[in-house]
Amino acid sequence: TYYTIYEYNNRQMINFATLKLTKHALTWWKGYNKRYSITTMMWKKFKRAIRKQFYPVGFEEDRWFKWQHLRQSFGQSVQDYGADFQNQALVLDLDLDDHELLMKFIGGLQEKSTKRRTRGIQGSLKLGA
């Protein structure tokens, strides 16, 4: 992301993100800023607060449901499955370097893909990041 390229710290990420807020979101942030101490707020907590306030009801539950049932579909390339996997993981704020995610990815491959492509999968997930 932009933040990792320029090595922003938590405070810088939050400051930059809040500069992009407009209308209702900006009004909400000003109120949030008055009610809570944000001087030590971490980026993850900021994202959670934004999501809680502005995501539709049930959005996160739907995403987790999709995540739990994510598999390579019939005829889908490993690359397309990898892109879907990565997108879902990023939306849920999951760490793509986690070994359990690699195991989930491999477990979601169709059997024929698992046999052919087990080597190099971890590298291909990192390339897309």
Q: What is the pLDDT of residues 20-38, one digit of tens each?
A: 999 999 999 999 988 888 8
CA quadruple 69, 74, 78, 81: dihedral, nearest 10: -30
CA quadruple 31, 34, 35, 41: dihedral, nearest 10: 100
pLDDT reading at 109 higher than 80: yes
| pTM, entire model | 0.59
- For residue 15 the two structure tokens come to 């400051």
Q: What residues contact 42, with CB distance under 8 A and at least 6 apart? A: 10
pLDDT at position 1 is: 63
Q: Can you tell me the distance from the alpha carbon of 21 to that of 11, in angstroms, rounded to the nearest whole number?
A: 16
What are phi and psi for residue 22, nearest 5 degrees? -135, 165
Please state the rounded mean pLDDT for residues 42-54: 89
Please state the rounded mean pLDDT for residues 81-99: 86
